[in-house]
């Protein structure tokens, strides 16, 4: 599903965020991405979202090499990737429903289709009763779950999460991790960037560890594919 081949990302001549990173994730796999802050976690996620392009090496998502992707094709790649942010990036000028509906709206889905799929996604994260509320009225954990609903509403094959539990207490974090586990069981590839080591140990999943831009652990199982 995802493959990094000798990926290097250099911002300036003196700042290298990723050095020759090699790894691959299969369909339905759930993996953590850990490392100290500034180790390159966000850069790795940005490369997957085509927010950044690698300086060297290849990033492949769903069989598509992202290096050579023309700019106007980027939106179509992003439609296949759901993203959850630490600060969830919800829009407070519209309802929970409209927030979750955004990924469907950009694809030009019909209103009935949108209604059905948004409610399914909200039901999945247990917020169906709050669809008409403004996200501002929700608690932090609920807001994060709205963010997750938005990320999965168009059933992307790849789900990325950047510190999804950063602001949440352990109980809520476990809930959210559970959700991610369920998605991976139905075939979604999930990659979660976090520095919550306790949580990572508890989940007992594959863990990619970055240190100063180098992948120091977790890259082995599928290496060289």
Partner 1 sequence: MATDSRSKQETARGARKGQAPWRQQADSYLNHHRKVAADSARRLWRMPVASFMTWTVMGVALALPVALLLLLTSLEGVSAGWESSARVTAYLKLDSSLEDARGLAQEIGSDGRVEGVELVARDQALAEFRVSSGLEDALDFLQDNPLPHTLLITPEDSARSQAGVQSLVTYVEGMESVEQVQVDLGWLQRLNAMTDLLSRAVWALSMLLAVAVVLVIGNTVRLAIENRRDEILVAKLVGGTDAFVRRPFLYTGAWFGLGGGLVAFILLELSLWWLSGPIERLAGLYRSDFSLNGLSIDGALALIIVAMVLGWLGAWVAVKRHMDDIEPGEIAGG
Tell me which residues touch partner 1 (CB under 8 A).
Answer: 37-38, 42, 45-46, 49, 51-52, 64, 72-73, 75-80, 83, 85-87, 89, 91, 93, 102-103, 105-111, 150, 162
Nearer to partner 1, 181 or 187 (CB): 187
Tokens of 68: 């050579």
The residue behind tokens 């942010």 is: 85
Q: How far is the CB of 141 from partner 1 (least distance, A)?
A: 20
- Decide whether 78 or 119 has the Cβ nearer to partner 1: 78
Determine the distance from the C-alpha atom of residue 55 to the mean position of all C-alpha atoms in its chain, rounded to a whole number. Answer: 22
Q: Least Å distance between CB 51 and partner 1? A: 4
Longest dimension (CA), the chain: 52
CB-nearer residue toward partner 1: 5 or 88: 88
- Pairing, β 214-217 against β 206-211: antiparallel
User: Please, which residue, 86 or 173, has the CB nearer to partner 1?
Assistant: 86
The owner of tokens 């599903």 is 1
Q: Tell me the C-alpha to C-alpha distance, in Å, between residue 146 and each of 11, 74, 112.
A: 33, 24, 20
> Nearest Cα to 77, choosing from 54, 98, 106, 102?
106
Q: How far is the CB of 46 from partner 1 (least distance, A)?
A: 6
- Please tell me the distance from the alpha carbon of residue 95 to that of residue 101, in angstroms, as a whole number: 10
Residue placing its CB nearer to partner 1 in the complex, 10 or 79:
79
160 close to 117: Cβ distance less than 8 angstroms: no
Q: How far is the CB of 26 from partner 1 (least distance, A)?
A: 19
What's the min distance (Å) between Cβ of 38 and partner 1? 7
191 beta partners: 31, 160
Q: Measured from the CB of residue 223, what is the shortest distance to partner 1 in angstroms?
A: 26
Q: Based on CB atoms, which residue is closest to partner 1, 99 or 184? A: 99
- Is the separation of the CB atoms in 164 and 193 below 8 Å? no
C-alpha–C-alpha distance, residues 42 and 162, integer Å: 7
Pick between residue 102 and residue 133 the one whose CB is nearest to partner 1.
102
Nearest approach, Cβ of residue 79 and partner 1 (Å):
3
């Amino acid at each position: 599903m995802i493959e990094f081949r000798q990926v290097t990302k250099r911002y300036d001549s003196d700042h290298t965020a990723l050095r020759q990173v090699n790894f691959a994730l299969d369909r339905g796999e759930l993996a953590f991405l850990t490392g100290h802050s500034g180790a390159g976690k966000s850069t790795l996620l940005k490369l997957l979202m085509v927010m950044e392009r690698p300086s060297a090496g290849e990033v492949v998502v769903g069989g598509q090499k992202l290096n050579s992707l023309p700019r106007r094709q980027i939106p179509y790649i992003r439609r296949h990737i759901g993203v959850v942010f630490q600060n969830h990036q919800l829009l407070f000028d519209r309802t929970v429903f409209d927030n979750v509906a955004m990924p469907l709206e950009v694809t030009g889905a019909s209103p009935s289709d949108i209604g059905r799929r948004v409610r399914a996604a909200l039901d999945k994260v247990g917020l169906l009763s709050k669809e008409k509320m403004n996200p501002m009225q929700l608690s932090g954990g609920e807001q994060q779950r709205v963010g997750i609903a938005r990320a999965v509403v168009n059933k992307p094959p790849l789900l990325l999460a950047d510190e999804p539990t950063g602001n949440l207490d352990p109980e809520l974090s476990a809930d959210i991790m559970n959700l991610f586990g369920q998605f991976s069981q139905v075939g979604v590839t999930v990659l979660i960037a976090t520095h919550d080591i306790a949580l990572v140990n508890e989940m007992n999943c594959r863990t990619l560890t970055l240190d100063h831009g180098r992948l120091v652990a977790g890259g082995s199982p599928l290496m060289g594919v």
